[in-house]
Amino acid sequence: MNEENWSFETICQHLGEKYEYEGAVVPPIFQNSLFVFDDAASFVDRTKDRRVFDYTRINNPTTDIAEKKLAALEKTEQCRLFSSGMAAISAAILSCVKTGSHVVCTEAAYGPTLQFFREYLPKFGVETSFVDGRDTNAVRNAIRDTTSLIFLESPGSFYFHIQDIEAIANIAKERGIATIIDNSNASPYFQNPAELGIDLIAHTATKYLGGHSDIVMGAVCGSAERMSRIVENEGALFGGNADPFASWLLIRSLRTLAIRMERAQQSAMKIAAFLNAHNSVAHVYYPGLPSHPGHELVKKQMRGTSGMISFEPTFQTQQKVFQFCEGLRLFQIGVSWGGHESLAIPLCDPNRDSKWFVRMSVGLENVDDLLDDLDRELKRASA
Ligand SMILES: *Cc1c(COP(=O)(O)O)cnc(C)c1O
């Protein structure tokens, strides 16, 4: 069976691996900044072949293995790993704008991404319109002659808003506008936006791709043409390259990505259904529930849904919501997500009458233990 036909799980175990170091089944960490050459001629000619390793800011053999796997998982030609999700996202965005450019961005994007558009890019004369990405017409109507980029995040942050990826990609293509999506929530296991026509797929690898809460990393995937420009410009010039040790940990993480995502979905579906039926819960936001407003699109463009759930409790005082989160024993209070451990954070939405809600990342604990934990504290907070 050829490499091109390998399935997701097989790519994670085998693609890019050479076993050339004493047969080691786990590739070594090339924890070196520098690669030396046999002779002067090969040194002088080194840039003719980008595959020759030279200097770790440009490329590194350990990082290269992880990049090959992720490019294949996202069904793209090339991937570049970065030192964080924000390094990856900002590099991808900067590759698509210049002074005078206009951007259309979904309001559902990650906070620092919104901040990059709203507060940082205006310094360079780049203006952004923020739209409700669930409304494809709102995206279309926001386009100007100067629009050079449409930025999506689906499922989005906090309420997991779903955008019609293919419809928006088609609108962009007709007008020669580049598209980027933050695909961190679904991971390539549940969604491949390149197949729906998106140009650049960005990830924080800190969340599901890493999965163990022990690395901070990011990735951008796309065509060889777009990616070689990003590697040479935003990659090499900003210097936000991935560290070889983090790349090695990411290779370790990818081995289990498929089974971690399966379990996240399985547990999250049970928890979302449980919350949906609970007396102390007013509303559940989970794209896997048929009641989620984007559920039809979920069925069309995703193969499944991850372990991120938000819900609005019936108890709406800060004190009760804090008491609920603090009472949970298996859900920790923390900002990140997608790791082995469950998390639950209290959030107050200024755009929705200061309603309190809880955002959860469902981890790899036994789901019955998680359900017991939630049930006990929901009852206590509403007593
Ligand atoms: C955390 C996060 C990021 C940023 O990733 P870092 O690795 O922390 O830089 C980007 N997008 C989404 C959706 C995130 O949740």
Name the closest-CA residue to atom 15, ligand 1.
110
Ligand 1 pocket, residue 338 CB under 6 Å: no
Q: State whether 150 and 184 are in the same domain.
A: yes
Ligand 1 pocket, residue 157 CB under 6 Å: yes
| Residue among 116, 115, 78, 79 nearest 97 (CA) | 116
Residue-wise pLDDT tens digits, 231-282: 999 999 999 999 999 999 999 999 999 999 999 999 999 999 999 999 999 9
Ligand 1 pocket, residue 110 CB under 6 Å: yes
Q: Which domain holds residue 344?
A: 257-382
Domain boundary among the residues 230, 254, 278 is at 254
Ligand 1 pocket, residue 84 CB under 6 Å: yes
Pairing mode of beta strands 342-349, 331-332 = parallel
Residue-wise pLDDT tens digits, 372-381: 999 999 999 9
Q: Would you say residue 336 has pLDDT above 90?
A: yes
Query: Which residues fall within 8 angstroms of residue 158, CB to CB, at 6 or more apart?
Result: 108, 285, 310, 347, 349, 357, 359
pLDDT category at 369 given cuts 50, 70, 90 is very high
Q: State whether 167 and 37 are in the same domain.
A: yes
Number of domains in the chain: 2
* Max intra-chain CA distance, the chain: 78
CATH number of the domain that residue 346 is part of: 3.90.1150.10
Please classify residue 38 by burial: count the beta carbons closer than 10 Å to its beta carbon, then call 0-12 exposed, 13-18 middle and 19+ buried: exposed
Q: State whether 183 and 268 are in the same domain.
A: no
Ligand 1 pocket, residue 182 CB under 6 Å: yes
Distance 182 CA to ligand 1 centre (A): 9
Distance 200 CA to ligand 1 centre (A): 16
Name the closest-CA residue to atom 4, ligand 1.
85
Say what the pLDDT of residue 282 is.
97
Q: State whether 264 and 371 are in the same domain.
A: yes
Residue-wise pLDDT tens digits, 152-168: 999 999 999 999 999 99
Structure tokens belonging to residue 245: 């040790």
Q: State whether 318 and 213 are in the same domain.
A: no
Q: DSSP letter for 61, please.
A: H
Distance 7 CA to ligand 1 centre (A): 27
Ligand 1 pocket, residue 218 CB under 6 Å: yes
Question: Rounded to the nearest 10 degrees, what angle do helices 367-382 and 318-327 cross at?
Answer: 150
Residue-wise pLDDT tens digits, 5-37: 899 999 999 999 988 889 999 999 999 999 999
Name the closest-CA residue to atom 8, ligand 1.
85
Distance 308 CA to ligand 1 centre (A): 14
Q: State whether 247 and 267 are in the same domain.
A: no
DSSP β-bridge partners for residue 342: 331
Q: State whether 272 and 160 are in the same domain.
A: no
Name the closest-CA residue to atom 9, ligand 1.
85
